[in-house]
Amino acid sequence: MKTQLTRRAMMGTLAGTAVATTMGRYARAEAEPSAPLKGNINHSVCRWCYGRVSLEELCAFCKKIGIKSVELLGPNDFETIKKYGLTCAMVSSGASIPKGFNKLENHDELVERYEKMIPIVAEAGFTNLICFSGNREPGLDDEQGLKNCVVGIKRILGLAEKHKVVLVMELLNSKVNHKDYMCDHTAWGVELCKRIGSENFKLLYDIYHMQIMEGDLIRTIQENIQYIAHFHTGGNPGRHEIDETQEIYYPAVMKAIVATGYKGFVGQEFVPRNPEPAAALASLERCVRICDV
């Protein structure tokens, strides 16, 4: 006797199989918590996401599992991370996100700040120093913002080149987290890189932010990898753990990044749902292993 399978039943079966397969992939990625990392990705973690974990504890944990960097730190923290043999893959400039290089009136203050920070970053043996476009305002369109950013960044570019420091502008979403931020699409950031025309100015491609603004992550990364100095992660929606609860499948994105020949760092910048130290650090390890392709 033949059993006729309806389209709805078949789709339900396929959906269940897909979910089980995806869950299985994540389970395998999180398995063997004591296994060494593979070495294809240089892993980093953003300090600000772990407010209830001391920097000493975070560094010790990173050293234990193979994370090489704690980032978005200032000079006062350099001694601590070096004690654990770690680097700072992206140094915080302390600059404001809304008040960036896209407005001429911000330039003098920003130039003074970066002229101080660039030699400090170089002396510490680090490379990447974060910067921001700033927000849009009425009367300031994207083209004028580009022109203003070129003027301001070129004032400090020579110093960055001299010290072998890379100024890295972060791509952020202007829809959810950073209303009116100007460098909110890869195309705008890449155009700025082209106009500046230096290996000492590149982009921080935040996967979470760009999923919100434009999607098409893998193709965009592949086409623009020469302009990218650093990556950040985060689950969307919510910016929590990068697991099966959200819409970005990180193993595929990481494999695409590795395939480009990228040798920089990937920084975990998700906010743990449970901020208590033990739970937060366990989440960090799980998410690093999801990205460790």
What is the residue extent of each domain of the chain? 42-291
Superfamily of domain covering 42-291: Divalent-metal-dependent TIM barrel enzymes (3.20.20.150)
How much is the pLDDT for 159?
Answer: 98
How much is the pLDDT for 229?
Answer: 98
Tens of pLDDT, residue by residue, the chain (293 residues) = 443 444 344 334 444 444 444 344 444 444 444 689 999 999 999 999 999 999 999 999 999 999 999 999 999 999 999 999 999 999 999 999 999 999 999 999 999 999 999 999 999 999 999 999 999 988 899 999 999 999 999 999 999 999 999 999 999 999 999 999 999 999 999 999 999 999 999 999 999 999 999 999 999 999 999 999 999 999 999 999 999 999 999 999 999 999 999 999 999 999 999 999 999 999 999 999 999 99
* Residue 20, C-beta contacts closer than 8 angstroms, at least 6 positions apart: none
How much is the pLDDT for 34?
Answer: 64
How much is the pLDDT for 138?
Answer: 84
How much is the pLDDT for 139?
Answer: 84
